[in-house]
Amino acid sequence: MSDFDDELDASGLNCPLPILRAKKALNGMDAGRVLHIIATDPGSVKDFEAFAKQTGNELLESTEEGGKFHFYMKKV
Amino acid sequence: MDEKKLAIIATKGTLDWAYPPYILASTAAALGYEVEIFFTFYGLQLVRKDLSGLKVSPLGNPGMPMKMPFGPDWFKNISWNIPNIIQAGIPGYESVATALMKKTIENNGVASIPDLRDLCLEAEVKFIACQMTVDLFGFEHSDFIDDIEYAGAASFFDFAGETDICLYI
C-alpha cells in the first residue's frame, strides 16, 4: 500500500493524541481521500480499528514495520 | 449515524486524576460523541484558568510506582519504596513528586493537561461548573476559564438522562 493523499506522523505520541491528531487531519480532507498515519504507540492498533468502526471512516490497511505502525484511513 | 452522548462528572482535583475526564472527553468528541463534563467539588481545579496548581500526591497512594524519569537505565529502574510516614514528614515532597510526574508524562509522549483541555474545548466539549461548590469553596467565576457554564444537579440530569454513557470520575 503506498497510495495516500495526506500523511500524519504521530510517532512518539501516546494515547489519545494519535487519534485526536488523525481526526483533525481527516477533518481537513475531502471524502474518499486517504490519510497515512504513522504511530509508535502499540495501543493505537486497536484504537484505529475502533476509531474506524465508530466514525465510519475506512481503515484500508494496518501494518507494522520496524516498531512503527502504519495506518491507511479513507475518509468517509 | 446518530450522534452518541457522553456525560462525565469530574470530582477530583489532582494532576493524575485530571487525565481520565479529559482523555475520555476528547477521544469521545473525536469519535463523534456530544460530550458534557460536569465539574464539581475538587474537580473545579481542572477548569481554573491557571492549572499550575495541579499536583500529584504519593501520600496514601500505595498504587503509585516511584521511578525516576531521568538518568541511566539502572537508575530509572529502581523502585523507590519510601514509607508513607516518611513522605508525609518531608517538606515539599508533593512538589518534587509532581515535577517528577510531569517529566515522566513528557518522556512518554503523553499530552499535558492544558493541552488536553484545549483539545476538548476545540472539539466543543461542553463544560459545566457546579455553582454550589463554586460558592462552597469561595471561588469567583473569574477564577475559571471563559468557556464554561454554571449550573446545578438538575441541569446535569437534563443532559445525563439522554446519554449513552455516563461516568463518575
Task: Give the tens place of pLDDT for each residue, A15-66.
Answer: 999 999 999 999 999 999 999 999 999 999 999 999 999 999 999 999 999 9
Measure A73 CA to nearest chain B CA, in Å. Answer: 14
Would you list the domain boundaries of chain A? 6-74
Report ipTM for this prediction: 0.84
Four-way CATH pick for B5-53+112-168: 3.30.365.10, 3.10.105.10, 3.40.1260.10, 3.40.1180.10: 3.40.1260.10
Active-site residue, selected from the candidate residues A7, A12, A15, A42:
A15
Its CATH class, for the domain covering A6-74, is alpha beta
- Residue written as cell 446518530? B2
Band (A1; pLDDT cuts 50, 70, 90): low
Q: Provide the percentage of residues in chain B whose pLDDT is more than 90.
A: 70
Comparing CB atoms, the residue among A17, A51, A54 nearest residue B111 is A17
Please report, for residues A21, A24, A65, B138, the alpha-carbon distance to residue B27 in angstroms, rounded to integers and kept in the order given: 10, 12, 26, 32
Note whether B107 contacts A: Cβ–Cβ < 8 A: no
**B10-54 confidence digits (pLDDT tens):** 999 999 999 999 999 999 999 999 999 999 999 999 999 999 999
Instruction: Name the nearest CA neighbour of A16 among B20, B147, B163.
Output: B20
Distance CA B163, CA A34 (A): 32
With beta carbons under 8 A apart, name residues in chain A contacting B123.
20
Residue A42 annotated as catalytic:
no
Query: What pTM was computed for the model?
Result: 0.88
**Chain B residue with minimum CA distance to A40:** B109
Task: Enter the C-alpha cell of residue B43.
Answer: 474537580
Distance CA B38, CA B54 (A): 18
